[in-house]
Structure 1
Amino acid sequence: MMGQLNPIAVFLVALIALGVLGNNPTITISAAVLLLIQQTWLAKYLPLVDKYALQWGIILLTIGVLSPLVSGKTKLPNQFADFVNVKMLVSITVGVFVAWIAGRGIPLMGEQPVLVTGLLIGTILGVAFLGGVPVGPLIAAGILSLFIGKI
């Protein structure tokens, strides 16, 4: 006798298909890993993944961003004057703004977790079909918090 379909497993399979169709290995691998975890004895570790994966991801992303600097591929400006130009000041301002926006997204995701589904679907569509990068849910939650007035 066949059991009921697990809606989360079906959702993960759909994400895998979107990742393949959109030629986005990030979505494909992420959904496949979560499906594997969910459907095996590893499911007991899902609370750890749920609790710490975002932090692990931010750490890995930060390592990836800093590694060209550490490897010497990207150089630090030699002089103070190199820091004080329009492009550098705008990039610093945008960095501060995006970090602030993402910081607003974390509480919103915790307070209204049902919105996370919409943010994830939008992010996945943006990644799969528009060439986006899946760092979007956190920033999207921050932007959403501006629209709905949540801190």
Structure 2
Amino acid sequence: MHSGEITMVILLLIGLAARSNLIANCACILLILQFSKLDQLFPYLETHGLDLGLLFLLLSILVPIATDRITTRELLYNVSSLPGILAIIGGALATHLNSEGLKLMQIDPGIIFGLIIGSVIGILFFNGQPVGPLMAAGVAALFLEVLSWFG
């Protein structure tokens, strides 16, 4: 067994222990692809996986609008109210952090393991909700930037 396969098995076990179906499923899918000799899909997943994930995330978020459960009037009110304006600012800051996190993961792909361990700790001890490593990487990039100011 190669080190990548061992790491995926460890992630599978961590995902199961932390009750994180997302981590466990991803580790399983990658192991299945590797063992079934479909690992030629890895470069495609590495290049386009984030875009595909964001596509499905946005689809799930936009369904209430498409099905008229949220009306145009409600949308306009929500973006013009104080919570809506703060949500716009939060969204802008979050996307900036996400881009910094993406840069960090491209520079140091090995950091993903620490991000996953941190996510598991957040799930187990802080009742956290895992939404993916990108925001975690953005926060880590922010921490690294702040540390660079002092060192």
| Shorter-normalised TM range | 0.7 to 0.9
Normalised to the residue count of structure 2, the TM-score between the two structures is 0.81
Pairing 1:7–2:13 present: no
Q: Which amino acid aligns with 2:20?
A: N
Distance 2:113 2:16 in 1: 20
Q: Which runs of 4+ in 1 moved over 4 A?
A: 78-82
State which of 45, 56, 63 in structure 2 corresponds to 1:60.
Answer: 56
Distance 2:9 2:105 in 1: 24
Give the number of aligned pairs. Answer: 145
Residues 108 and 24 of structure 1, relative CA distance in 2, 3 Å threshold? closer
Query: Where does 1:1-151 land on structure 2 (aligned, <5 Å)?
Result: 5-77=1-73, 80=76, 83-127=79-123, 130-135=127-132, 137-149=133-145
Secondary structure of 2:51's counterpart equals helix
Q: Which amino acid aligns with 1:134?
A: V
Normalised to the residue count of structure 1, the TM-score between the two structures is 0.81
Residues 100 and 63 of structure 1, relative CA distance in 2, 3 Å threshold? same
Distance 2:5 2:65 in 1: 40
Distance 1:24 1:79 in 2: 32
Deviation at 1:75, TM superposition (A): 2.4
- Which runs of no fewer than 5 residues in structure 1 stay unpaired? none
Deviations 1:21-78 (A, max 9, x none): 3332222211111110111121121111111111111111111111121122222335
Instruction: Return the structure number with greater relative CO, CA threshold 8 A, min gap 6.
Output: 1
- Which runs of no fewer than 5 residues in structure 2 stay unpaired? none
Distance 2:140 2:75 in 1: 39
Give the share of equivalent positions with the same residue, in percent.
24
Residues 34 and 84 of structure 1, relative CA distance in 2, 3 Å threshold? same
Distance 1:79 1:107 in 2: 32
